[in-house]
């Protein structure tokens, strides 16, 4: 099984149409089974999506937010279908981003159908118009009892919405699936290099970082330089060399053939201010 996670930055990216095509072309080549995406945006004033864009879409409760024409997940799925690749997908919006976007998260499944979805808040705030509101999206797929979640966490030292409180809410929600294999994938805003904060918290709670147990791996860096949320951070000096803050975790020990960074400008073009992480299990 092949899993991919990426904080897409989507509509906020310069040269977005070109980067959208580059992303889709790479997906066609790699064909990951599960794709977890964060910062999956749509313009709040865009037209409602045409029916052809909704092929493969699986509903998840989204508080009445419709899918619009420029929805990044819809555009990716549409292009995959155009290339003959079946794609079952779902998307939810968590909040208004930059005053002009419905900002959300998505899961795409290329080789099976999504059979169940769920979403819930991990932030204390549930105000759709507040930028620190955060939700999680999970799916089950056909022929597999595993749960796959896409997540975009807050920062460890945030006074209003600290990482630890969000992680505790997340864990509480996951208890109902504790006898099932669970994968959590995304932008955790928790560099593995920073000790005794978010990364160590997850690891100490018994989760397995698939990067650490992979037989083959690269340096794992998923962020270079200063990006939104880190520009005024004390990590700035570290940011210049990079951070490994996008992760794929599993609640059970698994055999991982490799973990590799994607879309970092080396093997694939950069498409976001984050790089992706792809793993393949045995």
pLDDT confidence of residue 206: 98
Three-class secondary structure of residue 5 per DSSP: strand
pLDDT tens, residue by residue, 66-85: 999 999 999 999 999 999 99
pLDDT confidence of residue 233: 55
Average pLDDT over residues 29-52: 98
pLDDT confidence of residue 234: 54
Q: For domain 2-281, which architecture applies? A: 4-Layer Sandwich (3.60)
> In sequence order, which residues have a C-beta less than 8 Å from that of residue 161 and are 6 or more positions away?
123, 124, 125, 132, 134, 154
Tokens of 164: 């630890």
| Residue 225 binned pLDDT confidence (cut-offs 50, 70, 90) | confident
- Output 233 or 18, whichever has higher pLDDT: 18
Select from 169, 236, 156 the least CA-distant residue to 196: 156
Are residues 92 and 55 in contact, defined by beta-carbon separation less than 8 angstroms?
no
pLDDT tens, residue by residue, 74-117: 999 999 999 999 999 999 999 999 999 999 999 999 989 999 99
- pTM for this prediction: 0.95
pLDDT confidence of residue 267: 85
Three-class secondary structure of residue 169 per DSSP: helix
pLDDT at 240 over 60: no
- Mean pLDDT computed over every residue of the chain: 95
Dist CA 10 CA 252 (whole Å): 32
pLDDT tens, residue by residue, 158-202: 999 999 999 999 999 999 999 999 999 999 999 999 999 999 999
């Amino acid at each position: 099984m092949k899993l991919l996670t990426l904080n897409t930055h989507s509509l906020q990216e310069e040269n977005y149409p070109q980067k959208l095509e580059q992303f889709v072309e790479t997906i066609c080549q790699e064909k990951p089974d599960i794709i977890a995406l964060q910062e999956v945006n749509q313009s709040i004033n865009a037209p409602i999506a045409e029916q052809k864009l909704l092929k493969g879409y699986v509903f998840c409760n989204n508080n009445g937010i419709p899918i619009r024409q420029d929805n990044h997940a819809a555009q990716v799925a549409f292009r995959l279908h155009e290339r003959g690749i079946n794609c079952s997908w779902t998307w939810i919006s968590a909040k208004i981003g930059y005053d002009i976007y419905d900002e959300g998260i998505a899961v795409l499944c290329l080789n099976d159908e999504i059979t169940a979805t769920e979403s819930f808040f991990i932030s204390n705030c549930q105000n759709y118009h507040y930028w620190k509101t955060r939700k999680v999206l999970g799916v089950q797929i056909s022929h597999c009892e595993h749960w796959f979640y896409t997540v975009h966490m807050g920062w460890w030292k945030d006074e209003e919405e600290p990482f630890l409180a969000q992680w505790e809410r997340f864990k509480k929600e996951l208890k109902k699936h504790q006898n099932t294999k669970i994968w959590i994938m995304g932008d955790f805003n928790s560099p593995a290099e920073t000790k005794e904060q978010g990364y160590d918290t997850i690891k100490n709670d018994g989760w397995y970082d698939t990067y650490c147990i992979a037989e083959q791996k690269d340096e794992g860096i998923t962020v270079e330089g200063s990006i939104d949320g880190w520009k005024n951070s004390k990590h700035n000096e570290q940011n210049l060399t990079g951070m490994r803050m996008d992760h794929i975790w599993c609640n059970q020990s698994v055999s991982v053939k490799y973990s590799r960074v994607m879309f970092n400008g080396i093997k694939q073009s950069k498409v976001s201010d984050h790089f992706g992480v792809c793993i393949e299990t045995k």
